[in-house]
Structure 1
C-alpha cells in the first residue's frame, strides 16, 4: 500500500465509523498494511509499518492517540519474531499478535466504563468536557444500573458538546450544555469532573481537548475530584513539563504545522499536570497518576 492508499483507508474509518477512535483506526490500518506487505525481511517489514505510521500522522487527525497506539502495537507484535525460520512465519506471528492486540483495544473501553460507572452515585451531578466515547460509555453503564444523575457538558468550539448532550439525552440522562467559559461558575454545583484523554504522559499528566487544563485548575480550587477515563493504549512515553513542552505535532493538525504561523493558531489540546488529577480509570484498573510510569515500564518490558 502506498501513502495515498494508507491515508485513504485510515480516513475512511475515521469518517464512517464514529465509534472508532483515532488510535483504534491506526491499529486497523497497520494490520491491513501488515497483511498486504511484500517485505522480504523483518527489517523491511518494520520500515514499511513505520512509513504507514508517518502517513497517518500526516492526515488531519490529531496524532496523540495515533502515536501512542502505534508505538505499543509495534512493540507488541515484534516481541515474538525471534528464531522464526522464514519471513512468512514471522509475518504470520505478527498478524496473529496484532489481532490479539486489537481485540484487547476493543474490550478496553468497556472495562474502563465498568470501573468508572461505580463512582457515579445516585443523585450526583457530573461535569464533562466535549465528547468522550469512554465517558459516554461509563454514563450509559451507570444509567443502566438505574442510577439517576445529571450532567453538564461544555459546548467546545467544534460543537462536540452538543453531540455528547444529544447522546446522553437519548439514554434518558438529564444533560445541560454550557459555555466553556462557564466552567468556574458551574464548578460549585457539581460533585465530580469526568473527562476522557487523547493521551497520557509518563508523568501521569493528561493530553486532552483544549480547556481540560482550565477545568482541572477550577476543580482543584473548589476541591472537586477530577477523574480521567482512558484506555492504556493511550499511555505515551513523553514527559512534558508544561504547555510549551508539549510537541507541536500533538497540538496542531498537519496542514496547520506546514502552512500557518502557530502564534496565530489555537492549539487543539492542552496538558493537565498530574497533581490536578485525582484518579485515572483504565482497563488496567484504577490508577493514581504516579502509577502510570510503572504501567508503561510493564507495557514496554
Structure 2
C-alpha cells in the first residue's frame, strides 16, 4: 500500500494552504486535508482507507511541535469515516461522498463560533470586567458580539513569549472596547478587579480539563482562589479523546522542556575605568543614579524560550463551565459527550 507521503497528493501542503484562511483553525484544516486525501487515495477497501488516514494523521502530527488541536480534528474525521453508512454503489463513489461530507462539515463548523458567542452572551452582564489570556478566535467573537449590546471592559495578558495578548488588545481597542494589557506575572494583582475569566482552547480533553496557551492553568488557580468563575470556550471539533493526569502527560511535553542545562561559565566583566566595586554594587542594587541596563539585555534568549512549554493543562476542578456549539457543559459532562460522540 502506498503511503500518503509517496502519493503525488501533498497532504502537508494542503493542510498549510487551508490554514491561510484566517477562519480555519488547525482541526478544520486537518479535516479538509484528510477529506482530499480520501478522494486522492488509491485504497480499494475501507480498511486500507482508514489505515491511510491514520498514516496521513501521523504525517500531519510530525509536521508541528504542537499537534494537539490538529490531532483532535484528525481523530474526529477518522471516526466519521469509520462510522459513515455505506450506501454508495461503488467504493469510488463512497470516497467522493466522504470528501463532500468532510468539506460540508468544515464549512458549517466555521459558524460554531457564532453559536458559542450567542450562548456566552447570557453570562455577560452590563459593565462586566473580563480577563482573557493570549489570543483566541472564539473568544474574540464572543467579546465583539457582547460589545454590540453591552458595556464591557477587558484585561488581556501579554502572553509571552509570543505576545499574542497584544494582538487581542489591538483588535479589541480598534472595535472600541476598553482594554488594558496585563503582565503575565500580574494576574493575581488584577484578579480582584475582574468579574470572570474567559479563555479559548487548543483542546478540551476527556477528563473535562482544558489544554490552552501556557499560563492558562495558573490563571485558573488564581481565579479559583479569588472565587471568580473560569469559563472556557471550545468548538466541538476541539473535543479530544486524551486523558492527561498532569502537565507531563501532554503530547507536547519532551525531555528538553524545563530541563537543567550545564552552566556556561563566562569571564566576569572588568570594572570600567574609575568605577569602584562599591559603585558597581550600587548600580546592581538600584541605588545608583546610573542609567539601568536596556531591557533587551534581560529578556530570554531563543534557546531559553525553546526550553519552555507552549501549552499547559488546566484541571477540570478549576473550570466553571465550557461553552460549546453543543451547549453549556460542566467539565463532568465533557467525558459523557465524548464517549457518545465517538460511539456513533
Tell me, yes or no, whether TM beats 0.5. yes
- Give the equivalent residue in structure 1 for 2:81: 77
Q: Is the 8 A contact 2:121 2:142 kept in 1?
A: yes
- Give the equivalent residue in structure 1 for 2:56: 52
What secondary structure does 1:281 align onto?
Answer: strand
Distance 2:111 2:173 in 1: 25
Superposition pairs of residues 10-21 of structure 1, within 5 angstroms:
10-14=15-19, 16-21=20-25
Per-residue CA deviations over 1:24-76 (Å, capped at 9, x if unaligned) read: 11111112212222322222222222222111111236211111111111111
Q: Is the 8 A contact 1:132 1:195 kept in 2?
A: yes
Instruction: Give the direction of change, closer, same or farther, for the CA distance of 1:112–1:61 in structure 2 (3 Å limit).
Output: farther
> Unpaired segments of 5 or more residues in structure 1?
252-256
Shift of 1:121: 1.4
- Give the equivalent residue in structure 2 for 1:287: 329
Superposition pairs of residues 171-182 of structure 1, within 5 angstroms:
171-182=175-186
Shift of 1:89: 2.6
TM-score using structure 2 length: 0.80
Q: Is the 8 A contact 2:198 2:231 kept in 1?
A: yes
Q: Is the 8 A contact 1:216 1:277 kept in 2?
A: yes
Q: Is the 8 A contact 1:118 1:142 kept in 2?
A: no
Aligned residue pairs total: 290
Greater fraction of residues in helix: 1
> Unpaired segments of 5 or more residues in structure 2?
260-306
Per-residue CA deviations over 1:121-152 (Å, capped at 9, x if unaligned) read: 1111000000010000001111122x111001
Distance 1:116 1:207 in 2: 20
- Give the equivalent residue in structure 1 for 2:339: 297
Q: Is the 8 A contact 1:22 1:61 kept in 2?
A: no
Distance 2:331 2:316 in 1: 6
Residue from 248, 256, 263 that aligns with 1:261: 256
Greater than 3 Å deviation, 4+ residue runs: 1-4, 81-85
Q: What is the RMSD computed on CA atoms of the aligned residues?
A: 1.8
Shift of 1:234: 1.1
Q: Which has the larger radius of gyration?
A: 2
